[in-house]
Structure 1
């Protein structure tokens, strides 16, 4: 990941709360004088203290298909606590971003117990709807797992019962303030119950399946060798998988003169330590992926140049680099589509990358890398045809027989709780390919990190970010991934502070280990013992 506009990144990765902290205003549709809406529906929402939801927060509300794909926003009018909009043509779900006291700031979902909403369901109290839907989702998941041999603990069951009791009281409340407080209580209990259930189920799966000797614990290796021996020592203690930089702009700043020396040195060191390398990225239409001498080339000529580049790299390294992110973020992401290619052109470039990789090294494991997995950018994009999500892009690659081996998913802190992260992973697993988590990071501090691309740490999970909160998130997320046979690798981004994600390293800037580093090392030892 190279430096990008921080407002873009926070918007597109799901950092809605952080974006609002930057002072984001409602959409142009809301700011302008909007004609009277016909066939309109009314949604209402309150903060946890019972105040009408501020318009700029409420305006972040999204509609989804029942397949979890965001819909382009229809015309809307947003005032304090009230959102008027036109009705989507099919049953739909709703996403509300809310600070739940006692849990954190997260995306909440209302889907009418899986049936979706139609005009007959409005006006709709979103606080109550989200509380009801959360309980239903968690209960449904637990029931499915129980059929597979999972035993739900008494504390989780009690949390769900308490959530239901609070919801019933909220439904009978005599004032918005009382209703909002009680729905907050219900959501707090059901959010914790969902996360606890997902974590317990993942631990159950790991205990059933045992140690996974081929699992890849990865990190980018960009600061070798300049960071020195302490960096290298910490790296090899924790990781068996390393991402190497092939950003075209810095790799070949002058046409015909690629700089292989640094990569050669990295590969040599990794081979000596028995660590598997991965190249990243071979094709990327971000500024970092396009040298000045190439970016203005005609489409066909750029295809030829990329084909030559990919074949040259993969042929040179052969089996020394068995994995490649062959193309990065080619699904209508603004920062990764600086040449403004159509969806069809992005697919053509994807096919070019995968075929050229195979020609250079036939045994390469080809990863199509994606980002912004919840696709919050789609409702904000007034483009025709509508923007494509990562999931839709991957579906199209499969439907058009573009050959590749692995789905790559970036997962920087997404304002989603672990239960919803689990739902997302399960959804992508239905595409039928192994999955690598190719990039992820969460913060360990809430102070500004001036030496990063966007210095304000985004999000609030359970409590303001600390090294302990970061370690808890790492433990839960890695446990979740390790429990799933279709997830083969998880790559942290970056090893030490002072790089991309603010306070996102597993090491401090002096390369001393944070609690998250130690926690992950403890997990690895525990899982290794399962196979002893």
Structure 2
């Protein structure tokens, strides 16, 4: 079986749609079918649009164009909840602005995720004034507050980030590492997941990490054995030191899919400039004044983006891919975006646009219903709109296999 048919097998379905008008089959009429949204979550950070969404943009024309480019690829946004920036002064969270951005994205039809609720990096400095018991209390209070305030707008969260390194993190002192070192990884995860589940029982809760070693597997196994309910596993893939390749990516997928949990590739970057030196252990240690994109690098990035996305969509466990930054100059100043610093799209943008909207999307189609008002087609999972004259019907294909649906024109 080819890769393309593998993707279609996991991402598309044979559908038989019976179309009715005023309760009667619409027989022998031409209708138009249009896919309006993928079920698969093609994601990217939405950090850049917070000001624009709140009417605070310094350059609305530029930001509006960036939104247009973003929506040409993505249907899933991640917003930042780094505690040290969200609530730098205790009791004064940036709820209003983040909620405004989240609602703006949701109103445009995008799924929104919050990242992260618990992390030892970019955490609140004022935690250092508290003892560990108080840190635990304010951390769980913070989770309940955010998940309650944003419920119905953000119902997906990276609850805790990078737990493998959390208790041994030594770059600087912080309250979350202090707490995790005292109580241990599994009790720490249980504590924050329990608080999140209590605040929003229907939310999708992720465990997220960059560590793809056996240490992450051991943590997951320990959590599952302890009865901690995890809804999805987050795997980071910042490829600043080179593209992983199909073999490594599939090997990682096989290792982590054995737990039977959905997999989200939560933070992906592939560069279009020079690679970070291989001797760098912590990517944050590589700080340079200028890191340009290059024509050769852009062509290579486009090829690697296509290979990476094809590999991930070919695996049935993968439900989401979040690219970490639409434009260049984001995390670590790297040329990892789909768009150059001047706002023009790179070859990687055009390549992914073709894949998402043409090869992996159901194109607008005109077809004639049969004598019983039925329309048969093979389509990618997602939301659809069916149009006949001035009347429409909306429906969703949510699972693979043979799908039989009844839709009534309005």
TM-score (norm 2): 0.70
Give the number of the structure whose residues are more often helix, by fraction: 1
Deviation of the 1:322 alpha carbon = 1.4
Distance 1:345 1:443 in 2: 36
Identify the residue that residue 345 of structure 1 maps to in structure 2.
184
Given that residues 481 and 487 in structure 1 are in contact (C-alpha distance below 8 angstroms), is that contact kept between their aligned partners in structure 2? yes
- Indicate which of 235, 248, 263 corresponds to 1:409: 235
Q: Please say which of residues 509-518 and 244-253 is displaced more in the overlay.
A: 509-518
Give the number of the structure whose residues are more often strand, by fraction: 2
Given that residues 285 and 337 in structure 1 are in contact (C-alpha distance below 8 angstroms), is that contact kept between their aligned partners in structure 2? no
Deviation of the 1:217 alpha carbon = 0.3
- Indicate which of 281, 284, 305 corresponds to 2:116: 281
What pairs with 1:79-228 in structure 2 (closer than 5 Å)? 150=1, 201-211=2-12, 213-224=38-49, 225=52, 226=57, 228=63
- Indicate which of 259, 269, 278 corresponds to 2:94: 259
1:122-164 alpha-carbon deviations (Å, 9 max, x no partner): xxxxxxxxxxxxxxxxxxxxxxxxxxxx3xxxxxxxxxxxxxx
Deviation of the 1:274 alpha carbon = 0.5
Which ranges of structure 1 fall in alignment gaps of 5 or more residues? 1-149, 151-200, 376-388, 458-462
1:292-324 alpha-carbon deviations (Å, 9 max, x no partner): 211342221111001110000101111211100
Distance 1:453 1:473 in 2: 25
Distance 1:351 1:511 in 2: 43
Which ranges of structure 2 fall in alignment gaps of 5 or more residues? 14-37, 277-283, 363-377, 381-410
Judging changes above 3 Å, is the alpha-carbon distance between structure 1 residues 465 and 454 closer, same or farther for their aligned structure 2 residues?
Answer: farther
Match of 2:187, SS state, is helix
Q: State the structure with bigger RCO (CA 8 A, min sep 6), 1 or 2.
A: 2
1:26-55 alpha-carbon deviations (Å, 9 max, x no partner): xxxxxxxxxxxxxxxxxxxxxxxxxxxxxx
Deviation of the 1:259 alpha carbon = 1.1
Alpha-carbon RMSD:
2.6
1:72-93 alpha-carbon deviations (Å, 9 max, x no partner): xxxxxxxxxxxxxxxxxxxxxx
- Indicate which of 249, 272, 276 corresponds to 2:107: 272
- Indicate which of 357, 360, 367 corresponds to 2:199: 360
Q: How many residues align?
A: 310
Distance 1:522 1:342 in 2: 47
Given that residues 323 and 364 in structure 1 are in contact (C-alpha distance below 8 angstroms), is that contact kept between their aligned partners in structure 2? yes
Deviation of the 1:440 alpha carbon = 0.8
- Indicate which of 346, 349, 354 corresponds to 1:514: 346
- Indicate which of 303, 307, 319 corresponds to 1:476: 307
Match of 2:42, SS state, is strand
Deviation of the 1:447 alpha carbon = 8.4
Distance 1:374 1:220 in 2: 25
Question: Which segments of structure 1 move beyond 6 Å, counting only runs of 4 or more?
Answer: none
